[in-house]
Structure 1
Amino acid sequence: MHIDILTLFPEMIEGVFNTSILKKAREKEKFSYNLVNFRDYTENKHKKVDDYPYGGGAGMVLTPQPVFDAVEAVTNETKTKPRVILMCPQGEKYTQKKAEEFAQEEHLVFICGHYEGYDERIREHLVTDEISIGDYVLTGGELGAMVVVDSVVRLLPDVLGNEESAPQDSFSTGLLEHPHYTRPAEFRGMKVPDTLLSGDHAKIEEWRKRESLKRTYERRKELLESHSLSDEEIKILEELRKRKDKNL
């Protein structure tokens, strides 16, 4: 995979690509990246990339010319048809499912905006996806782009040390992940559940499934509405509901 990030502040991103899993993945040549300052593509003699909005209003709007030219430049260089992702609070809310979809692509281009917003022609004629990482507004799209990149790269083959890590993550199964414990078996009087110490893999798997459902039911109940429940999972949920009603 190759990733291009169009940004006015490339220095915000360098540190992330040179740390932890992203650094190891890059060293293993699982992906490559390029930071593009789209100010370098402006035809404005003052190097401006924004202007006042037609019709008036507060703030400045990113002009289309430098963004279009920058995307066309990176696309011509790689000879690919990339997914062009606009980081935007008005975009589709980002999910693990979308991360898995992006992880299948060969080339991703991220556009990170600043100021009041984008000229609408960028949205209508250049991008393939508009993505929001949550219902709040950031100063720019860089932080959001880094979140998306991290979530995608970790899904690429052989990036994580344990191949089972990504499929078991929260949201990958549609549910929240089960609790984890490590040594010591007892800490300040708090004990690891006996099932996890039993060595019985079937019972451990059953415990994890139950705890995953329990955690989802207690914390993110809305996720269960879109999750295809098995007969066994339905039975577990009924038990959880009865137990909760009994404790009220």
Structure 2
Amino acid sequence: MRIDVLTLFPEMFSGVLGSSILKKAAEKNAVTYHLTNFRDFSDDKHKTVDDYPYGGGAGMVLKPQPIFDAVECVKKKHSSRVILLCPQGETFTQKKAEQLSKEEQIIFICGHYEGYDERIRSIVTDEISIGDYILTGGELAAMVVIDSVVRLLPGVLGNEKSPVLDSYSTGLLEHPHYTRPAEFRGMKVPDVLLSGNHKKIEEWRIKQSLKRTKNRRSDLLDSYPLTEEQKKWLDEENLS
């Protein structure tokens, strides 16, 4: 995968893209990162990228010309996804991350100031928001989406089952995890996890996943295809 980020602050990405899983993904040649300052594409001598909004109002608006030219420069295929990070976009989900992980190129446009000239949306394939709150710019949102997508690329994680079993990937929140020691400050690991009975362990994990989802994100159950057995489990007192 090739990831291009169009931003006025490329230096913000060095620590994130050069650390942890995102760094390992690049080292494994699963992804390449390309940072472009779209100020370099401004066609005036002062390199301005924003201007006052027509009709008046507070703040400055990003001009279309630098961003149009920057996208046209970095775009390698007609089918490449061009993502605008903005509060009006669809809320980012794990399902969206899985969809984007199958692309060959993703281009992120990171806005700043009061907003975008509306004509910029004409060259965008997706508009994404990471939540109902306001950020100073699109850079942090782009980092969140990149991290979520890159970890799904084949060969990036050491355990290929990890992204499949993560919270939201199954449609439910993930079950609790435990490691050594078996008892810590009076808190014990559930006996079933020490039993060696893999069938019982799997059943416990599913039940705990259902319980956690019911208690913390019950809305997820509305679209989850529950089996008859799982419906019975949800009705049991120990899952309330």
- Do they fold alike, i.e. is TM over 0.5? yes
Residue 217 of structure 1: how far off its partner (Å): 0.2
Looking at structure 2, the residues matched to 243 and 159 of structure 1 have their Cα atoms a distance apart, in angstroms, of 35
| Cα shift at 1:161 | 0.5
What is the deviation of 1:80? 4.9
Partner of 1:184: 181
Deviation at 1:232, TM superposition (A): 1.4
The Cα of 1:243 is off from its aligned counterpart by: 6.4
**Which residue matches 2:171?**
174
The structure 1 segments of at least 4 consecutive aligned residues displaced by more than 3 Å after TM superposition are: none
Change (3 A) 1:61 1:83: same
Equivalent residues in 2 for 1:27-106 (5 A)?
Answer: 27-75=27-75, 78-106=76-104
When residues 243 and 27 of structure 1 are mapped into structure 2, their CA distance, relative to the original with a 3 A threshold, is closer
Secondary structure of the structure 1 residue equivalent to 2:236:
helix
Instruction: Find the aligned partners of 1:108 and 1:236 in 2 and give their Cα distance.
Output: 42
Shift of residue 4, structure 1, vs aligned partner? 0.2
Deviations 1:105-140 (A, max 9, x none): 0000000000000000011x1100000000000000
Aligned to 2:107: 109
Alignment coverage as a number of residue pairs: 240
Number of the residue aligned with 1:195: 192
**8 A Cα contact 1:174 1:223, kept in partner:** yes
Whether the aligned pair in 2 keeps the contact of 1:38 and 1:67 (CA below 8 Å) is yes
* Percentage identity across paired residues of the two chains: 70
Where does residue 24 of structure 2 map in the other structure?
A: 24
Question: How far 1:236 sits from its partner (Å)?
Answer: 0.8
Instruction: State the superposition RMSD in angstroms.
Output: 1.0
Deviation digits for residues 64-102 of structure 1 (CA, Å, limit 9, x no counterpart)? 000000000001xx3453100000011000000000000
